Structure 1
Amino acid sequence: MSRPGPVITLAAGAVLAVGLGVASAIAAQAPVTEAAARAPSTAETTAPPTAEATAEATAPAAGESAAPPATGQTSPAPSAQETAAPEPVRTAPRKADYGGRVKGNGGLIAISIRDGKAIGYFCDGRAEAWFKGTESGGELRLTSRGGGRVTAELDGGRARGLVAIGGGKWRFVAPTVVKPSGLYRATAMVRGARLRAGWIVLKNPNGGYTQVGAAFEGETQVPVPRLQDGRPTAPVTVGGATLQPEDVDGFIEELR
């Protein structure tokens, strides 16, 4: 009769050894499996953001304005007319006197302005003309009874323009002047006729004065005396009568 005891014992030991090896392998793999379970999958990490998330990310913060979408176009450059500075508006002083020579004629012209109203006088020793009109925005427009006219621009202390009288037209440049340069006039009634005379006096740059004038008794021209240099309002004799010349401030209201 055989003894099974040792064989059973050996078989049981083999079974126990196998079981312990399997348990050890399972225990070694368990941490890796749990870590893999806790880690996000590749699909989860690469999934695109939702529409709501995109809107939140691109929406401007409070107080900020959204930038306009790029169109690939640039604003046109401003034109020369848009970038050019506006022309300054020419203005004349409330009170000013101008006097100068008429080119190509040899005569003189004098213009006086008071609060936008103006008078002028042209004389070349033979013909004469009184003008009246207005000044606005540096533009002067004067007319005479005989159809003559004066047009000028007032700028830089000068009147530059054109005088037209008796079918002739001449240009002139008349700087501002101060007394005793300027415009003078004298009137009186002599032998039932109105006697009148007018003068323009201009100081010369090198000293002395240039003056021109004309006098009429009624419609007849008579010799006109020269005014005193430095004292143009001193009395003078015209046509046998003594006249008292006045500067422009003494008679401008009668002609305006």
Structure 2
Amino acid sequence: MSTLGPFLTLAAGAVLAVGLGVASITATPPAGNTAADTPTEAPAAGQTAAEPSSPTPSPSATSPEEIVKADYGGRVKGSGALIAVSVRNGKAVGYFCDGRSEVWFKGSGTAGELRLTGAADTGSKITAELDDGRAEGSVSIGGRKWRFVAPTVVKPSGLYRATAVVRGARLRAGWIVIRNQDGGYDQVGAAFAGEEQFGVPRLDSGRPTAPVTVAGTTVQPKDVDGFIEEMR
């Protein structure tokens, strides 16, 4: 019996063990290697790799919120005038009056600020920040500038306006009504037909939209809800 048989059997076993070890190393990835570590397949010619999508900001996150309804009124420091601003669905109208001169304004109101420009004089401005139930800012007219603080108000406080035709000229009259600390109401108003000024009577604080006579003509004052759409 040949003595080479056992040696051949051992050699064959060693070769088989080495082959199985190599196959195991090839089939099993190294420890710690994950799909994130594996290179991704390059896009085919003419294609581009898809970019991660970014969330689209909602309109409420990027656009100021419009005020649905608000009314502000107060005194203009150092001028002897009153000021009133009303906002409806983001549209704002304002009125500055000291009984001798007046300016009407129009613009916008958001949850954070008021921005208005003179209806007849675009150089006139109202700019105010809205916080804690009041408007605080400045009004600029004819190169002069005053500060004001105007808390929110409720009727009959607020802004009133009437229009008519007097001797062929369009008459406009305006009033601001503000409740005072004594429980009564302070008022200021003015009326003009062209360049001619007329006196205005006080409004009845109990019925501020009751008819009054201006320049010999009976007019019907309207609250802001009645005329804001006329001021475009």
Shared fold (TM-score greater than 0.5)?
A: yes
Q: Per-residue displacement from partner, 1:201-234 (whole Å, max 9, x unpaired)?
A: 0111221100001001222111111111221111
**Residue 239 of structure 1 pairs with residue 215 of structure 2:** yes
The total of aligned residue pairs comes to 170
State the partner residue of 1:126.
100
Alpha carbons 1:91, 1:154 under 8 Å: kept: no
For each residue in 1:232-255, what CA deviation from the matched residue of structure 2 results, as whole angstroms up to 9, or x when unmatched? Answer: 111111111011100010000111
Q: Report the counterpart of residue 206 of structure 1 in structure 2.
A: 182
Q: Where do 4+ consecutive residues of structure 1 move more than 4 Å?
A: 89-92
Q: 1:137 to 1:180 in 2, by over 3 A?
A: closer
| Secondary structure in structure 2 of the residue aligned to 1:180 | coil
Per-residue deviation at 1:92?
6.5
RMSD: 1.8
Determine which of 158, 167, 173 is the counterpart of 1:182: 158
Query: What is the CA–CA distance in structure 1 between the aligned matches of 2:103 and 2:208, rounded to whole Å?
Result: 20
User: Which structure 2 residue ranges, 5 or more long, are not aligned?
Assistant: 1-30, 33-62
For the pair shown, which has the larger CA radius of gyration, 1 or 2? Answer: 1
Q: Residues 106 and 90 from structure 1, CA distance in 2 versus in 1: closer, same or farther, beyond 3 angstroms?
A: farther
Residues 167-219 of structure 1, C-alpha deviations (whole Å, 9 max, x = no match)? 21100000000110000001111221111100000111221100001001222
- 2:175 maps to 1:224: no
In structure 2, give the amino acid aligned to 1:189: V
> 1:160 aligns to what?
136
TM-score by length of 1: 0.63
Local SS of the residue matching 1:211: strand
- Segments of structure 1 that go 5 or more residues without pairing to the other structure are 1-58, 61-88
Instruction: State whether residues 232 and 245 of structure 1, in contact with CA within 8 Å, keep that contact through their aligned partners in structure 2.
Output: yes
Partner residue of 2:52? none
- Counterpart AA for 2:188: V
Superposed CA deviations along residues 9-59 of structure 1, whole A, max 9, x for unmatched, are xxxxxxxxxxxxxxxxxxxxxxxxxxxxxxxxxxxxxxxxxxxxxxxxxx9
Whether the 8 Å CA contact 1:150–1:162 is kept in 2: the answer is yes
Cα distance 1:209–1:131, how it changes in 2: closer, same or farther (>3 A)? same
Tell me if structure 2 keeps the 8 A contact 1:92–1:154.
no
CA distance in structure 2 between the aligned counterparts of 1:207 and 1:92, rounded to whole angstroms: 32
Counterpart pick for 2:71 among 89, 97, 105: 97
1:164 to partner: Cα distance: 0.5
Report the counterpart of residue 172 of structure 2 in structure 1. Answer: 196
Partner Cα distance (1:242, 1:249) in 2: 21
By percentage of residues, which structure has more strand?
A: 2
The 3-state SS of whatever aligns with 2:209 is coil
How far off its partner does 1:135 sit? 2.1
Contact 2:67 2:109 (8 Å CA) reproduced: no
Other-structure match for 2:113: 139
Contact 1:217/1:239, CA 8 A, preserved across alignment:
no
In structure 2, do the counterparts of structure 1 residues 90 and 203 end up closer, same or farther at CA, with 3 Å as the change threshold?
Answer: farther
Identity percentage over the alignment? 72
| TM-fit CA distance, 1:93 | 3.8
1:149 aligns with 2:125: yes
Distance 1:140 1:93 in 2: 10
Conservation of the 8 A alpha-carbon contact between 1:215 and 1:221: yes
Which of 103, 109, 114 is equivalent to 2:83?
109
Distance 1:90 1:208 in 2: 36
| Residue pair 1:132, 1:143 contacting (<8 A) in 2 also | yes
